[in-house]
Structure 1
């Protein structure tokens, strides 16, 4: 982005300040407007409350008067109560008595009037009528049903008007007395009597309850209020804007005079400097009348002389700093890689190949000369490549290299050799065919730095190669550090594998003992392991998971070791108590396999392989996806093998019959017992499963040969 001049920056700041002040003014006016509206509304509410109170007193007094008046004493009541226009009584036969007396038209029928009808229906009624024959003067009428007729009072037409005149905030044109049903019984405008709608746009209605059936309704003109305060707000905005313009012009002149103009003078002075190559000085030849600016110019002249003198030394120092930075960055990356490798040593699920892939990549990334590399293992005189970078690992892994392990004893530690020297050594220990294959898979290089961690059974070989002249002393030390880490992991992995292998073989022996009562040949657990791993692979499990299932599926009935022999050996049908004990073999597996993450999958298989997909299994009655998938795989394989095997209580079934029972069901086995996805895969690959079973039963698969 192109730098802006100070004058343009000040203009932008002024613009932002102007916009901000304008927004603040609008917000303040808006807040003030809202506060004034609320205040005015509150005052209006107070006045309306007082009006309601006064009207309520008048109506209550009129109702009490009706409750106590004597029909033959209208004159004294009229004189006592100032607000009465007329007081009258209508008998049931329609005859009317009224005070003060007036001429009543011959066609006047009081029984047709609202005040009569509503009082007759409700006991007491408050409505409106007219005090003159021409119906020009509406009045509020309060009527009550008494014995033999209706007693009524017309309030004076000005009684409400006189109350409203006392309050300044109330507009008498906008106030109404209405009944619950919306009927207007008082309005300043005589034309508004009757029903009234509150849906007129632009008005806010304030409603106050006078008594049980009467409400005071005030029409609050929002547009009028808005216009009033908008005009007021515009006036305030104009005044504030004028004040701001005056202040703006004053500050602009002040800033220009005392800030912008001096800065521009300094800028012009610096642009007009001269450089004298002879004495290596830079100086400003412009001066201004501001003391501070002149001081800056003088200081600049002094400082630039020093800067020029030291600039050459600075350039040299910069080059050294760059070298140091690159070195520190390299060391930092090395430490990060080493820490990462150390933290991965305790990851039990990390295979030897996975770990050494990470190690080799970090090694090549850290050592600047390294371009290619490989890691291999010598096990029982077989030289096996684990991983490689830059070489053809697929070709190298296919090569079967047999070497006497003692040969590598002489190469224990770190050695640096050339390509030619290394392959001369290989030529002496390999046959010509293997030698040529090794050469094809290996990319040529100038020098190799290799490390051998020798032992009689297992030896680890690490090599990195370069086409540069040699490896630096620092690179050799880094290589040693990585080799130390690789040795720790290698030895720990071997020790852990030994322990796990011993424990697994012990568990496998226990499983064989547990199955021995039903399985005369001893091949049941191996068939279950092989077929379960086959199904797992077809379902989509990865190589590591397939290998785990193959290894741990044989332990599915290991809990039977805790079931009493008399139950396991019983030839007849088990009693209900014996069957309940037999079912506990799933839970007994926890005694051998629990509290060890290594056997977590084995425990899942042993604990849940008798659970049914429809929830009818044991020991917990799990259903659907609650059942671990590995247990669901072993379940179907276990049942298939049991159907095909000869037992003391049954003959062996053919593959076709066993498949039919699993897919169609019989009196004990139902298709609903199996995970539908696994059942589909089992049925799809049933012929391959038959072949695996037949091969193991005939002793044709490695590791399953009959003795």
Structure 2
């Protein structure tokens, strides 16, 4: 069975034109992409630029030999898959290749069935490495999601009667994002990372968060600091930039009356503007120890018309229009997640 490397690339280095042309015809039938170099120096440069999956090289060449090139490649990538070709009377070169970690070699004159078998082994190794890398990436991504969710749940420990607030806010935000045409990848990011919007409440005492009566000015300042604390907890990792932006700015108001910095209009990151509407809608719907919950229509009326505390001027007008168009979808989300523990 002929070796076939779909989506696998190969770099071939050979200085003799006739040998190179014959081999190239053979390789092009088996690999989607084949790069060619005439000496080790060209091969090394091509490897660094293209990062092929497999390298097939002669040993004795001008400018730079195959073994010198292989050594440089292995210093750059110790898992590189390299095949060397050598004449029968060059066994000392083969021993040197084996010592440096090259364990695929072919003797000249080349026999096509042996070339094919060696290439097949290398292809299988490439695929096995890719599968292992894909599994590792999947496990890393799952751990990333788990960590975010766990951290969000830890923040809720100070505020248990919030129910599934973090989940609902994520779903509301996703619905708004889809309605304004955000790409799926960004929607998925916001759904996940919006769960950390209140993570800074870890620093706020439970007795303040659950206080039945009106908060003092000092207590209100402590509550408002949860935005800054949240951003500090999340940190500056690029993967969590969305989460940090949401945590820090989701209490800013379009008209500049919000906190912590009194930002206005497009100074507020759009992801935070989206979560702001979702967060307020859920806060209005949800019953707390210090307030009753409103029905859907009342919550929408407060957001769209105002009640003296919450005003439509607090929200991005474009996003308010999107909210109006999908408000029944938000009602369905609340109903679906309201009693899930």
TM exceeding 0.5: yes
Match of 1:617 in 2: 258
Tell me which of 271, 293, 296 is aligned to 1:655: 296
Match of 1:673 in 2: 314
Match of 1:533 in 2: 174
1: CA distance, partners of 2:331 / 2:142? 34
1: CA distance, partners of 2:46 / 2:182? 31
1: CA distance, partners of 2:270 / 2:46? 37
Tell me which of 267, 272, 277 is aligned to 1:636: 277
Give per-residue Cα distances to partners, 1:510-557, cap 9 Å, x unaligned: 1321432x52xx121111111111111222121121111111222211
Consecutive unaligned residues in structure 2, runs of 5 or more: 1-15, 38-42, 56-112
- How far is the alpha carbon of 1:565 from its aligned partner? 2.7
Match of 1:603 in 2: 244
Match of 2:215 in 1: 574
Rate the CA distance shift 1:340–1:579 in 2: closer, same or farther, 3 A: farther
Give per-residue Cα distances to partners, 1:576-596, cap 9 Å, x unaligned: 121111100000113321032
Match of 1:472 in 2: 116
- How far is the alpha carbon of 1:659 from its aligned partner? 0.8
- How far is the alpha carbon of 1:506 from its aligned partner? 2.4
State yes or no: 1:500 paired with 2:144: yes
Rate the CA distance shift 1:571–1:335 in 2: closer, same or farther, 3 A: farther
Tell me which of 198, 215, 230 is aligned to 1:589: 230
Structure number with the higher strand fraction is 1
Tell me which of 312, 324, 331 is aligned to 1:683: 324
Match of 1:490 in 2: 134
2: CA distance, partners of 1:580 / 1:476? 67
Tell me which of 307, 323, 327 is aligned to 2:22: 323
Which entry has the higher C-alpha Rg, 1 or 2?
1
**Structure 1 residues 34-433: aligned runs within 5 Å:** 319-320=18-19, 322-323=21-22, 330-332=34-36
Secondary structure at the residue paired with 1:589? helix
- How far is the alpha carbon of 1:499 from its aligned partner? 3.4
Secondary structure at the residue paired with 1:647? coil
Consecutive unaligned residues in structure 1, runs of 5 or more: 1-316, 343-361, 367-468, 699-704
1: CA distance, partners of 2:173 / 2:218? 31
Secondary structure at the residue paired with 1:472? helix
Secondary structure at the residue paired with 1:686? helix
1: CA distance, partners of 2:245 / 2:265? 15
- How far is the alpha carbon of 1:319 from its aligned partner? 4.7
Match of 2:3 in 1: none
2: CA distance, partners of 1:628 / 1:578? 27
> So what's the TM-score if we normalise by structure 1?
0.34
Match of 2:62 in 1: none
Give per-residue Cα distances to partners, 1:305-337, cap 9 Å, x unaligned: xxxxxxxxxxxx965453366669935499999
2: CA distance, partners of 1:691 / 1:606? 25
Rate the CA distance shift 1:502–1:695 in 2: closer, same or farther, 3 A: closer
Q: Give aligned pairs, total.
A: 260
Rate the CA distance shift 1:479–1:689 in 2: closer, same or farther, 3 A: same
- How far is the alpha carbon of 1:340 from its aligned partner? 7.7
2: CA distance, partners of 1:632 / 1:338? 46
Assess if the C-alpha contact under 8 Å between 2:175 and 2:329 holds in 1: no
- How far is the alpha carbon of 1:665 from its aligned partner? 1.2
- How far is the alpha carbon of 1:569 from its aligned partner? 2.5
2: CA distance, partners of 1:651 / 1:608? 26
Assess if the C-alpha contact under 8 Å between 1:612 and 1:621 holds in 2: yes
Secondary structure at the residue paired with 1:657? helix
1: CA distance, partners of 2:239 / 2:17? 56
1: CA distance, partners of 2:336 / 2:296? 13
2: CA distance, partners of 1:661 / 1:530? 20
